[in-house]
Amino acid sequence: MSTDDSRSNEWHRLFSAALNDTITVEEAAQLASLLKSSAEARQLWFLYNDNECNLAELKSSQVSSAQEQKPPARGWSRRLSPFTAAAAGLVIGLFGASLVWGYVGSKAHQVTTLLAEGFENGAAPHVTGFPVEPGVWSGDFSEVVGEFRGVRPEEGRKMLRFRQADYEGKPVRDGYVADLFRLVDLRDTGVATGEATVAVEAHFAAQAQGELQGLNCGMTIYALDSLPPESMRDDVFLKRASAGLTETSEPEFEPRILASATRSEKAPSDGRTWTSARSEMRLPADSRYCLIHLRMHLRGSHRAEVAKPVVFEGLFLDDIRVSLTQNAARP
């Protein structure tokens, strides 16, 4: 057997062991050394690591021959063992982490859906401001409805209709913006690496209300290091955000806002158009919870002559999705 054939078979053996989670500590170190020293090996490794790659397209006749003589074991998986991740990690910084880790990282570019909400189960959000525990919707007065006065849900049979721009027990009843909040638990999602991005998308629609024409809608994402205390309402977060305090450091203040991202959209209030808004944010490594704030109001409702809190005739929200993406590691 020629030297090239022997080398190709050895590469194939290491790649197959890594992709089938049978690699040993010694083989992982050998693989790391190979990827460090050989550009050709790195290129082939990228192809092996991709489940959808067609091995017949490989241009190296020696490697193609080796594949025919010794086909790879079945059941390839994108999820690599710790040994494989360790081997690949040794290459980071030497050959461009964003490129190498994008292929060999065990979770790189893995997208996880954290929430898909269409209100189809009919459960209405709480009306007590923003929640102090994950997994529940809470905010201003609202109800779950089906088709309502000619407005059809964006998806499914149901949607959320805001009724009034304040919540139960609100101390100052001067609201003109309809707010909805949800806390998402991030502790078991792998964000501790600082290489994760959260994305939020929601759909908004409205009907005109007298002189109030046009819709303003949007969202803010907050990364928090702990849960809010029982006594806290949305005012604290909104005031700090508007003051530009995207990170708080007072030792008595919990939770800390580690980062925030905001997106706003303008839309018609014709009762037919659903407007999509989307925002995303890289999560700091200390993030433990994510606070999602969705909001909307009819333009002009802030004026003093409009009675407060504003009572809405037709303000709707539907098809909310929250996802988490494990990004490629940065150099």
pLDDT beyond 70 at 141: yes
Helix axes 25-37, 3-19, angle to 10 degrees: 120
Count of positions (residues) in the chain: 331
Winning range, highest mean pLDDT, from 77-91, 265-279, 316-330: 265-279
The amino acid that residue 64 corresponds to is S
**CATH class, range 111-326:** mainly beta
**Which residues, in sequence order, are CB contacts of 110 under 8 Å at separation 6+?**
78, 325, 326
Q: What is the mean pLDDT of residues 77-82?
A: 41
Statement: residue 99 has pLDDT above 80: no
Kindly report which listed range (80-84, 139-143, 190-194, 221-225) carries the lowest average pLDDT score: 80-84
Give the span between the Cα atoms of 313 and 53, in whole angstroms: 54
Going from N- to C-terminal start, the domains of the chain cover: 3-104, 111-326
- In the predicted model, is pLDDT for residue 115 greater than 50? yes
**Mean pLDDT across the stretch 224-241?**
71
Residue 60 is predicted with a pLDDT of 40
> For all residues of the chain together, what is the average pLDDT?
77
Mean pLDDT of 311-320: 97
Kindly indicate the confidence band of residue 254, based on its pLDDT and cuts at 50, 70 and 90.
low
How would residue 100 be classed by pLDDT, with cut points 50, 70 and 90?
very low
Provide the strand spans (E) within the chain. 111-117, 137-139, 142-145, 159-164, 178-185, 196-206, 215-224, 257-267, 275-283, 289-298, 311-326
**Section 59-66 average pLDDT:** 42
Mean pLDDT of 107-112: 70
